[in-house]
Structure 1
Amino acid sequence: MATSPLPSSARGQAASAFLQRYGVLIALALLLTFGALRYEGFLSPFNLFSVLAFNSMFGLVALGMAFVIMTGGIDLSVGSVAAFASVIAAMLSPHGLWLALLGAVGAATLLGLVNGLVIAYGRVLPFIATLAMLLGARGLALLFAGDQSVSVSYESGFTNFGQGKIGAVPYTAIVLAAAFVLGSVALRYTAFGRHILAVGGGEDAARLMGLKVERVKVLVYTLSGALAGLAGVILASQFGAGQPTEGLGWELTAIAAVVVGGTLLTGGMGSIGNTLVGVLLLGLIFNILNFENGKGTISLSNYWQSIIRGVFLLIVVVLQSQLTKRRS
């Protein structure tokens, strides 16, 4: 018995769903293919691991941002929190890696907790609360650092965290992979992950289900702060200094990676794995631009990266909006 073809509207919805779920993977595959064909050494372990090592900071920040956005929130403070954590880590680095790591991540976690409490119990909009924290954390970073970079200790082994390797694999790439594995497991297989999606899908409905919405919000912003703190430790150990003025625009990079991975800005739906793919896609785009600079084809300054991030984010948001409309 012959089956009737799907109506055009159903086919359009299926195509939109496919692109929203797998479009970022297709884009990454195309980008890797282009780079492999055009540049010598593009797919070499050295280049790929270098991209992973450099983008590990952005990946950790994007992971925290993904959980926040899935609840329907936003965290604009991640870059400033990471900069503050880098200063704390640099100041504690003479005492060894573990004290620097715990101190910096702990301080950043506290700032994330403040964000969560203000948003959940103070009923302040996430945009306003985290914008205030962006300014506050930046001020704290400059205050602690004395308005200058803070050199780290090279004798304590602190810099091995950001610069060390196991074979050809950087420690930071391992940390990034472990964080995303844990994040994916938490979202997919734990009650915490289900509660995040439920809150993002509708707070009133979540409350009717008996979920503690405020607690979920506090937890996701605290987690975002902790991951930004870990990114700050990597920043200090990778570049040899706490950077109070670093982190500008990191929130936009994180949002772009999360959105290009298919997570809705309205919350209620998202993918941790695709967020990682979004981070890698952005990282490889800038890696390709560096290769082009090396070939002499183009000559773009670092300022162009901000322009490209902005245009890329706008395009992705528009495409995501159109795909969502077609699915509905």
Structure 2
Amino acid sequence: MTQTPSSQTILEAFVPRSNLQLARLCVITVVVALLIFGALRYDHFLSSYNILSFLRYNSMFMLIALGMALVIMTGGIDLSVGGTAAMASVVAALLSPYGWAVGLAGGLLAGLGVGMINGLVVTRLRIQPFIATLAAMLASYGTALLLAGNQSVSVSYDTAFTLIGQDDFLGFPIPAWIAIAAYVAGWVALERHPVGRRILAIGDGEATAKLMGLKVERTLFGVYAASGLLAGLAGVILAAQFGAGQPTEGVGWELFAISSVVVGGTVLSGGVGSVGATMAGALLLAMVFNILNFENGLGVISLSAYWQSVIRGAFLLVVVVLQAKLASARQNP
């Protein structure tokens, strides 16, 4: 008597076992090379001040990169993360006088709300993620400006709200602890939970995933909600770290997130991805900018902040071209 394979067995057989080891190795190699270069060239590159400041500031970008990675693995995109973070920072700042917990919860709920709307529009109205999240981005920035009265909103310093972004725990920045916890949860979900296999299966082919009986709409809704929640958390850290809600902040954050995800080896078409490699990609891009700041300090070069966008775009273009070449080589050996 033949046994009927379970849905779990079918799912594991269906999900492509693409090898991300090369991408991970390349990213880690470049990160290590930059660390060695920075340590040899700059006196205080590996100082505790620079390391802790680096982790404290870039934790926001690591969070939005994680949410973006999950969305891209399904074959989608979330252009609203920057606007969501800006709106969440304003909401958190406005609520901070009522206590740090209220400010934190308000920012998280604001981000979650945007993510849930994105999920509903994509799954129920069947609007393309690019258009749906672009509309959400514009709406989020507009809402942030309306709530803030077109200006920064100072947070309350009497409720310990700023400790979320400025304080340390066990000698390590609290924002960095938050980012690490988020990545651990993301890794567990992707590598050790059925939802991870569903995410990759949807990215590899949504129609096929539906035929297999997978809960496609529920999974997509959850992924966009998670991306919004992480963007909201980044907004809370933004407000707590700089002492004000920033309604005009977040411009270009979605590009940083996409670049981090792609540099980490996640394919834009979906179906392939890694949480750990996404973290490495985010750290790599952030380290490049950190090195540029040190180089500016030496007076050898003088690059404005606008060069960050140029470099980010160049990174993204090079990696996408390399991914396309590798995909073509696999299909036509």
TM-score grouping bracket, smaller chain normalisation: over 0.9
Give 2:222's match in structure 1, choosing from 219, 235, 241: 219
Instruction: Give the aligned partner of residue 327 of structure 1.
Output: 330
Q: What 5-or-longer segments of structure 2 have no aligned partner?
A: 1-18
Which aligned pairs between 1:172-251 and structure 2 lie closer than 5 A?
172-251=175-254
Letter in 2 for 1:25: I
TM, length-normalised to structure 1: 0.93
Q: Deviations over 1:121-166 (max 9, x none)?
A: 1110000000001100110000000111000011110001100012
Q: Secondary structure at the match of 2:161?
A: coil
- Residue range with higher mean Cα deviation, 66-75 or 96-105: 96-105
TM, length-normalised to structure 2: 0.92
Q: Shift of residue 21 of structure 1?
A: 3.5
Q: Shift of residue 79 of structure 1?
A: 0.1
Letter in 2 for 1:176: A
Q: Secondary structure at the match of 1:143?
A: helix
Instruction: Give the aligned partner of residue 293 of structure 1.
Output: 296
Instruction: Give the aligned partner of residue 39 of structure 1.
Output: 42
Q: Shift of residue 44 of structure 1?
A: 2.1
Letter in 2 for 1:186: A
Q: Deviations over 1:72-124 (max 9, x none)?
A: 00000000000000000000011111111111111110111000100111110
Q: Shift of residue 26 of structure 1?
A: 1.1
Q: Deviations over 1:234-274 (max 9, x none)?
A: 00000000000000000000000000000000000100000
Give 1:108's match in structure 2, choosing from 105, 108, 111: 111
Structure 2 distance, partners of 1:323, 1:41, is 39
Instruction: Give the aligned partner of residue 315 of structure 2.
Output: 312
Instruction: Give the aligned partner of residue 263 of structure 1.
Output: 266
Give 2:93's match in structure 1, choosing from 74, 79, 90: 90
Instruction: Give the aligned partner of residue 129 of structure 2.
Output: 126
Say whether residues 1:69 and 2:72 are aligned partners: yes
Letter in 2 for 1:234: I
Structure 1 distance, partners of 2:285, 2:20, is 22
Instruction: Give the aligned partner of residue 166 of structure 1.
Output: 169
- Residue range with higher mean Cα deviation, 286-295 or 26-35: 26-35
Q: Shift of residue 168 of structure 1?
A: 2.9
Instruction: Give the aligned partner of residue 83 of structure 2.
Output: 80
Q: Which runs of 4+ in 1 moved over 6 A?
A: none
Give 2:33's match in structure 1, choosing from 30, 35, 44: 30
Q: Shift of residue 167 of structure 1?
A: 4.2
Structure 1 distance, partners of 2:21, 2:174, is 34
Q: Secondary structure at the match of 1:297?
A: coil
Do the aligned residues in 2 keep the contact of 1:20 with 1:323 (CA within 8 Å)? Answer: no
Q: Deviations over 1:181-216 (max 9, x none)?
A: 110011000011111011001111111110111111
Q: What 5-or-longer segments of structure 1 have no aligned partner?
A: 1-15
Letter in 2 for 1:280: L
Q: Secondary structure at the match of 1:247?
A: coil
State the percentage of identical aligned residues. 60
Q: Shift of residue 304 of structure 1?
A: 1.2
Do the aligned residues in 1 keep the contact of 2:109 with 2:229 (CA within 8 Å)? Answer: yes
Do the aligned residues in 1 keep the contact of 2:118 with 2:132 (CA within 8 Å)? Answer: yes
Structure 2 distance, partners of 1:156, 1:224, is 28
Letter in 1 for 2:280: V
Instruction: Give the aligned partner of residue 149 of structure 2.
Output: 146
Instruction: Give the aligned partner of residue 4 of structure 1.
Output: none
Q: Secondary structure at the match of 1:207?
A: helix
Do the aligned residues in 2 keep the contact of 1:87 with 1:150 (CA within 8 Å)? Answer: yes
Give 2:255's match in structure 1, choosing from 252, 255, 272: 252
- How many residues align? The count is 313
Structure 2 distance, partners of 1:166, 1:105, is 21
Instruction: Give the aligned partner of residue 279 of structure 1.
Output: 282
Letter in 2 for 1:73: G
Q: Shift of residue 18 of structure 1?
A: 4.8
Structure 2 distance, partners of 1:125, 1:148, is 33
Q: Shift of residue 17 of structure 1?
A: 6.1
Q: Shift of residue 325 of structure 1?
A: 2.1
Structure 1 distance, partners of 2:330, 2:101, is 48
- Residue range with higher mean Cα deviation, 206-215 or 64-73: 206-215
Cα root mean square deviation, aligned: 1.1
Say whether residues 1:20 and 2:28 are aligned partners: no
